Structure 1
Amino acid sequence: MANVWVGVRERVLALRTAPGMRNVFGAVWGEDLGHRFELLPPLTQAELEQAERERGVRLPEEYRSFLLEVGAGGAGPDYGIFPLRPGTTSDKTPAEPRDEPFRPEVAALFEQHREDEPARDDFASDEDFAHAYLAWDARDDELREELFTGTIHLSEQGCGYYTVLAVTGPEAGTLWDDVRALGEGIAPKRHTGTGRLTFAQWYLDWLAYAERKAWEPTAGK
């Protein structure tokens, strides 16, 4: 996707003065909250490489080029893009990617594990139940961490849901939903209902929506 980000920073910043900017979800809420179509400055090549060294991984190309050409965080889908800069952990990543691959198959293991939660009625004594539950709970913590190995959390959707970018493994560059708030694990985002959604598709789809909402003739009336 050569030149995919040409003019995108300017288009986003122009929405700061659009009459219907408040109609775009996540742009403005509360007294002074929301991304308000502001963007952090882009990273320099040196800053990007330092951030990658800190995480032990080369980021997917679409996201990489976004950080270099559009901004290091700010306006975007949901409540905006979490900042990613060297020397910080503000990208909300629960575990550093390093070189371990993202494994979506862990989601099925996690779902099965949740179904296998011990019940008191299945044990002869409180002691046996407590022992089994402690082991189950420890494995639950392990699987929750494994779910997001090799990912970066990009944005908060609200109500405890997040958008996640796979940065390692065969799925690198694709987007996923963190749905632990539903008692589940991680699920792929789909593009046009079928194929995996990539970072550029996700961001540009949002920008087209934001421009429609913010610049429509009745916006702000």
Structure 2
Amino acid sequence: MANQWMGTRERVVALGAQSPRSEVFGALGHQWVLEEPLTADELAELEGQIGVRLPEEYRTFLLHVAAGGAGPAYGLFPVRRIQGRWRWEGDGADLADLTLLAEPFPEQGPDPKILDELLAQRPEEEDFDEIEDFDAAIQAWDERWDTLVFAPERTAGAIVISHLGCALRDWLIISGSHRGTIWSDGRADDVDLTPLLDDGKPVTFARWYTGWLDQAER
């Protein structure tokens, strides 16, 4: 599987040298910089700490391309050892509970009917005479929404690997039946986590990264 990454780092470096940084979305963020790959010992330590083997496409990327950096949207979140502990760093990376990574990613999220009912109950400013009353109502609604859709168990077995701005992010599932696939997180826009699809098939890490690279080169 390592062969699928042959030449990938060189392609990214070449793009950084040739392309205006504003030409590809997100490039102003990652600046076409790639971190050094992990060593086999570092990867083993990382997996030992989180208690689960990473999906093959991602772990071979970490070994043969980079530990993070240039990639889709504003870049691939780097994984780094900080004071002896491994963690992913980036806007929203801390949404992933590292103690739950060995738990299977849930087959489904909250009941869509419950989500629809809650969305229908969202306060509207025009329904209130005083702005203070609206602010209190929307704050209470936000707390109910966050409790439902941002519960830590909702993203068990997954890590945040990239952000697209405006609190929109992509997750990599590392445990459970969806292992190795990328899910889009639109919860900031009141949209639940959904799998990325290509011709109806789940997008894996390699397809996600190489698809971005192919498009960037075009």
User: TM-score, normalized by length of structure 1?
Assistant: 0.78
Q: Which residue of 2 aligns with 1:78?
A: 73
Q: Residue 201 of structure 1: which of 195, 207, 211 is its match?
A: 207
Q: Is the 8 A contact 1:155 1:162 kept in 2?
A: yes
Q: CA deviation at 1:210?
A: 1.0
Q: Structure 1 unaligned runs (5+)? A: 29-33, 120-133, 213-221
Contact 2:2 2:61 in 1 (8 A): no
Match of 1:26 in 2: 26
Say if 1:156 and 1:19 are closer, same or farther in 2 by CA, change over 3 A.
closer
Separation (CA, whole Å) in 1 of partners of 2:176 and 2:19: 43
Which of the pair has more CA radius of gyration?
Answer: 1
Partner of 1:123: none
Q: State the SS of the aligned residue for 1:206.
A: helix
- More moved, 182-191 vs 70-79: 182-191
The aligned length equals: 192
| Kept after mapping to 1: 8 A contact 2:49/2:86 | no
Residue 3 (1) aligns with residue 10 (2): no
List aligned pairs for 1:107-122, cutoff 5 A.
108-109=110-111, 111-117=112-118
Q: Does 1:172 align with 2:179?
A: yes
Identity of aligned residues (%): 41
Structure having the higher helix fraction is: 2
Amino acid at match of 1:179: G
Distance 1:210 1:184 in 2: 27
Q: Which runs of 4+ in 1 moved over 6 A?
A: none
Contact 1:100 1:150 in 2 (8 A): yes
Amino acid at match of 2:45: Q
Tell me the C-alpha RMSD between the 2 structures: 2.6
Q: TM-score, length-normalised on structure 2?
A: 0.79
> Would you say 1:46 and 2:49 are equivalent positions?
no
